[in-house]
Amino acid sequence: MQNIEAAGNLASVEHRRMDIEIMVEGEGLTEVETIRIPAGSTAHEIVSIVAAKAGYAVQEAMLFAEDCEQAVDLAIVVTEEAFGNKVHHVHRVQQIEVAVFYQGRKIEKRFAPSTRVQRVLDWAVGPNGFKIDPAIAPEMELALHGQTTALPKNAHIGRYVRHPHHELAFDLIRGIVPNGASL
């Protein structure tokens, strides 16, 4: 009996080795999650898992690699090398209209839902944004419009937008500035 159980456990371990772990974020998820798909699966499988979990139809959803503007072809076969070390994003909108507010001004630009908050921040403080003094730019952060809590810089902006909406507003805020005081 022990040999049968051991063989079953070995087969289970072997099966897990053949699975590919994919980090995903997306519409309806509140944080990055890791999913497991069988080796040889297509990108469609990633979308199917996330859409089912988030409660929307898989036919409506697209898959994006982090910080990429174009959706991934869902017929592509997923490999550990191509998908394993990146966070992917599943969403039902291809572009999000982003507005950033700062000192009574507003700037706007379109981004893919897989765009990290850091990338939007870089644009907002940079030469095509508010042209923030480079000496204080590292202290700046983004918060949802009307709020004061800084967002995680690695979060995808699509996390904050649910279909059918495709707009997102941020406030550019000054984060906590260390003053050298000891605790």
- How far from each other are the two terminal CA atoms of the chain, in whole angstroms? 61
Would you give per-residue pLDDT tens digits along the chain (183 residues)?
444 444 444 444 444 558 999 999 999 999 999 999 999 999 999 999 999 999 999 999 999 999 999 999 999 999 999 998 899 999 999 999 999 999 999 999 999 999 999 999 999 999 999 999 999 999 999 999 999 999 999 999 999 999 999 999 999 999 876 655 444
Determine the pLDDT at residue 85.
Answer: 87
Determine the pLDDT at residue 13.
Answer: 46
Number of domains in the chain: 2
Q: Which of 87, 78, 70, 83 is nearest to 31 (CA)?
A: 87
> Which are the contacts of 72, defined by CB distance < 8 A and separation ≥ 6?
43, 62, 63, 64, 65, 88
- For the chain, count helices (H), then strands (E): 4, 8
The sheet carrying 87-91 orders its strands as 33-38, 19-26, 87-91, 62-65
Determine the pLDDT at residue 17.
Answer: 58
Cβ-contact 157, 96 below 8 angstroms: yes
Determine the pLDDT at residue 178.
Answer: 61
Q: Which of 38, 27, 43 is nearest to 83 (CA)?
A: 43
Q: Within this chain, do residues 62 and 110 fall inside the same structural domain, yes or no?
A: no
Q: Within this chain, do residues 80 and 133 fall inside the same structural domain, yes or no?
A: no
Q: In whole angstroms, how large is the CA radius of gyration of the chain?
A: 20
Q: Within this chain, do residues 79 and 34 fall inside the same structural domain, yes or no?
A: yes
Select from 70, 91, 112 the last residue of a domain: 91
Q: Which domain holds residue 127?
A: 96-174
Q: Which pTM was predicted?
A: 0.85
Task: CATH number of the domain at 130, please.
Answer: 3.10.20.90
